[in-house]
Amino acid sequence: MNIKNKIINLDNSDYHMHSMNFSDWLNTIEEIVRYAWDIGLNEIAITDHSDGAMDVLTSMFNVSKTTFRYSLRKWKNVHNDVNVVFWVEADIMNEDWDISDLIQWKESEFINLSAHKDICWTQVKSIDTAYKNAIEKHHKKIKCICHPCSNTNYWQEVDINNLIDLANKYYIPLEINWNYLYHWKTNIDKLHILIKNANRIYINSDAHSLYGLREYRKNVIKFLEENWYI
């Protein structure tokens, strides 16, 4: 089964990563952009965590945002030809349609939709309803659904088939997350279901370091090749 026609960014782009400037990466935006060019990427999305997530991270790990995000309106890539876009990894907040999608009180045009146990207020049994309502409400700005095959947080309770149907309905890509696969945080059975049934797929690093940006992708490609998907 060759799935190359499903994968939007097989070769040279990555649409999920975090920076030191606004989130929990070890490197700055400038360092990420320079290194992305060195490893052959031509487009990246910096998808730092929202205010809601950062409030939790700050209280738990003393993570802080170091740059005023409003300054990005003047930011230009002066290092190379990598096209850089700035989205937000937005979190579902409850079983209604509420999401946390602001960084420093500023709304992003596009988001990657996610859920983390310490940020989402909903009960585990309601997580399918929470995703359904969030996707139906915000689908026009959702660029990707993050780590849907995770075996951590709420994701182990998500009905992957229902989520795939929703994503396909609204033409939203589902993510094969390099980071989660590399660190054994992926439900492999669900991943096979996603690969076979999702109409649109991103393979993203969810990197928090330059090492992750480079190495995690190799693991995903290896998995896809070993299972005869590409």
Locate the domains of the chain by residue range: 13-226
The pLDDT value given to residue 214: 92
Query: Hey, what CATH topology would domain 13-226 get?
Result: TIM Barrel (3.20.20)
Is the full-model pTM beyond 0.85? Answer: yes
At residue 166, what is the residue type?
A: L
| Closest to 166 in 3D by CA, of 192, 196, 145 | 145
Per-residue pLDDT of the chain (230 residues; tens, 9 = 90+): 889 999 999 889 999 999 886 666 778 999 999 999 999 999 999 998 887 665 665 555 555 555 656 566 778 999 999 999 999 999 888 888 888 888 777 788 899 998 877 666 556 567 888 899 999 999 999 999 999 999 876 667 889 999 999 999 999 999 999 999 999 999 999 999 999 999 999 999 999 999 999 988 888 889 999 999 99
Q: Which two tokens stand for residue 222?
A: 């290896």
Q: Which two tokens stand for residue 166?
A: 């929703």
CA distance 207 to 19: 9
CA distance 124 to 164: 19
Q: Which two tokens stand for residue 94?
A: 């409850």
Q: Which residue has the tokens 């998995």?
A: 223
CA distance 57 to 181: 23
Sign of CA dihedral 151, 154, 160, 164: negative
- Asked whether 148 and 115 are in contact (CB, 8 A), the reply is no
